[in-house]
A and B are shown apart, each in its own frame.
Chain A
Amino acid sequence: GESVGLHLPTLSVQEGDNSIINCAYSNSASDYFIWYKQESGKGPQFIIDIRSNMDKRQGQRVTVLLNKTVKHLSLQIAATQPGDSAVYFCAENSPYSGGGADGLTFGKGTHLIIQP
């Protein structure tokens, strides 16, 4: 079935470097995408979202890029800090995802490790 997935289960970067977390999706009907950060023992925390009518959106130290041609989503984190260590999930919304009216389908996540 159609699903959201991530390319790498673990990504290790040096503190201060930029990191890029990738996500592939297969549902062409998806029209809204969200990145969440989840720290150990906590629920997913909203980072940034993007609608399908955009290809880039920037937040504080984070940028989300959407390439609808190849169905690819990425999260860029600038100047990573120790507090960025967490699991990052991309999630998509589509009318037929079965996850409720704003139904979100999540990938498995990428564990970002920040090395000193």
Chain B
Amino acid sequence: DTGVSQNPRHKITKRGQNVTFRCDPISEHNRLYWYRQTLGQGPEFLTYFQNEAQLEKSRLLSDRFSAERPKGSFSTLEIQRTEQGDSAMYLCASSLGGIGSPLHFGNGTRLTVT
């Protein structure tokens, strides 16, 4: 399977703990995106990378959130001091870039903060 891969699929954590998610994009895609999706809603943009450079962050991305893409390949999203409001599906997507290049999504990591 050469699609976007995300790990873990599910994560249950206690409030206040730190969590880290990983995304492996489609290999030839140089753009990588993180989105968050809550129940009944469409995905909301968090941040994106062009190769290893993080070029844009949404105001949804609080200081407790940090994303990296150190070698321009896989990416990690870390949430520090998790809160119950962080419970959501975290989706990663990748694209070749440019208008007309659709985003291809992984199956997400579902985070539950208890």
Contacts and interface: CB of A to CB of B under 8 A. Distances in A.
Interface of A: 4, 31-32, 34, 36, 41-46, 49, 51, 89, 91, 93, 98-109
Given A89-B42, A100-B31, A34 B48 contact: no
B25 interface: no
Given A103-B45, A108-B40, A49 B102 contact: yes
A88 B93 CA distance: 17
B78 to A, nearest CB: 19
Given A99-B45, A102-B103, A104-B45, 7 more contacts: A31-B99, A43-B4, A43-B91, A49-B100, A99-B33, A103-B45, A106-B44
B101 to A, nearest CB: 6
Interface residues of B toward A: which range?
20 to 34
Interface stretch (B12-20, B50-58, B68-76, B80-88): B50-58
Contacts of B99: 31-32, 51, 93, 102
A21 B48 CA distance: 29
A98 B42 contact: no
Nearest to A32: B99
A3 to B, nearest CB: 10
Contacts of A107: 42
A89 B91 CA distance: 15
Contacts of B55: 100-101
A11 to B, nearest CB: 15
A102 B42 contact: no
